[in-house]
Structure formats: C-alpha cells, structure tokens
Amino acid sequence: MNRAALFDVDGTLTDTNHLHVTCWWEALRQAGHDVEMHAIHRAIGLPGEDLLAHLLGEDRDTSQDEVLGAAHDTLYGTYFDRLPPMNSAAELLRELDRRGWRIVLVTSAKDAELDALRRAIEADDVVAATATSDDVDEGKPAPDPVHHALDLVDAPADGAVFVGDTVWDMRAGVRAGVSCVGLLCGGIPRADLEESGARAVYRHPADLLEHLDHSPFDLSVASATPMASTDS
C-alpha cells in the first residue's frame, strides 16, 4: 500500500503567507477596497476566486476578480527570486521519503508561482506529484484537491497524512478522510486548527521532524486519539 504525505506549501513549507497578505491588500486597495490585513490573513489558503468571495462577498462585482488576481500575481511575482523556505522543510520531506512516504504538494499556487516555491524548498528530488486547484472543480476546503493528490500516487485515504497551516487545509483533509497535522508557522491559532480537524499540531516543519516518531506519520500510533501536540 502506498503511503502519501500530502503537504500544503504557502505557510507550511515556505514562509510566504504574509507576503500574500501584503500583495492581496495592495491589489484590493488599488481597486478601491478597504480590507483589513487580519481578515486577508485568515483567507489565505483559499483559491483566488474563493478568497475574494470570502473577503468581498458573493454579491461583489465578479468582473473585477481577474484584475484583482492579476494585480496580486504581479506584486507577488516581485518576490519570486527570494521566497523563504521554512527551516528544515526540505529535510522533513526527505526524511519522509526515506521512510517510504510518497510526497505530494497540495496547493492553490500554479505555473510560475509554483515553480518559484519549489525552487525555494529545494526538495524536488523527493516530490512525487503536485495537485493544484486548477486540477479539480473545487479547491480547498473542498476535499477535491486531496482526493486528486491521493489518486496521483495511488494511495488510500487511511494511508495518508495531510500537513497544512490553515483551517482550509484541515477541513479539506477531514472531508477527504485523511489524518491532518497542523503547523503554527502560518500564523493561525492552535485552537482553530484543532477545531477544524488537526489531530496534532506542531510549531513548524523542524518541530514536526523532531517529533516524527510520535506523530500521525508513525502509523503504529496513528489510531490514538487525540495525539500529543507540541507547545506553541
């Protein structure tokens, strides 16, 4: 049975959430929308159209969506050559690969942005596949991206763990029937991640790597509920 280690990217493997917040804030400001940064932060992790619906409402002028998305992408693109990886992100992926897990990135990023993120992580040699929101009808928090990721490596839900930093990641994983691990490095509180389905919460990739033997990635203890989480 293939075992799948599914990873969100922004805020989980790369320290990029606050760059996204700034870029969305500026794109919205340029279009005349006054949206507080803390609200944008809580929406990071949603695909662009869903993020705008979450922030501006379903009754917004959707004809602006493409312009807003393009403005965000242009602003964010100025950081492509210096996107910071989370400490020990590559080492975590390589250790899981060494233990027989198939690594799949599950992200809303696409094309040039995804290429830049993968360059930042520097672990392409162990990434088996990538599932993006463009591959499915609905992005996170719908389970579709997780189901697609599992299909890419022919892995069952009960042999998979999804690591992410947002409530959207946790909800998508729970709906797909996989075990979820939350990371605090994206800036979302522990309580929110646990309420959304995280079975264990760690500070960042380095913390998860240090406690890997007692995490949901240890299938011999994965059925225990709840699992211990490290201090925030």
Q: What is the pLDDT of residues 117-170, one digit of tens each?
A: 999 999 999 999 999 888 999 999 999 999 999 999 999 999 999 999 999 999
Nearest residue to 11 via CA among 23, 1, 21: 21
Q: What is the CATH architecture assignment of 17-78?
A: Orthogonal Bundle (1.10)
The reported pLDDT for the residue numbered 229 is 67
pTM for this one?
0.94
Percent of the residues in the chain that have a pLDDT greater than 70, as a whole number: 94
The reported pLDDT for the residue numbered 1 is 82
In angstroms, rounded to a whole number, what is the distance separating the alpha carbons of residues 121 and 154? 24
Contact 50, 139 (CB under 8 A): yes
The reported pLDDT for the residue numbered 110 is 85
Q: Which CATH class is domain 3-15+84-214?
A: alpha beta
Question: Which strands, in side-by-side order, build the sheet including 200-202?
Answer: 127-132, 101-107, 3-7, 160-164, 179-183, 200-202
Low-confidence ranges of the chain (pLDDT < 70): 219-229, 231-232
CATH 3.40.50.1000 domain extents, the chain? 3-15+84-214
CATH 1.10.150.240 domain extents, the chain? 17-78
Write out the two tokens for 170. 């946790």
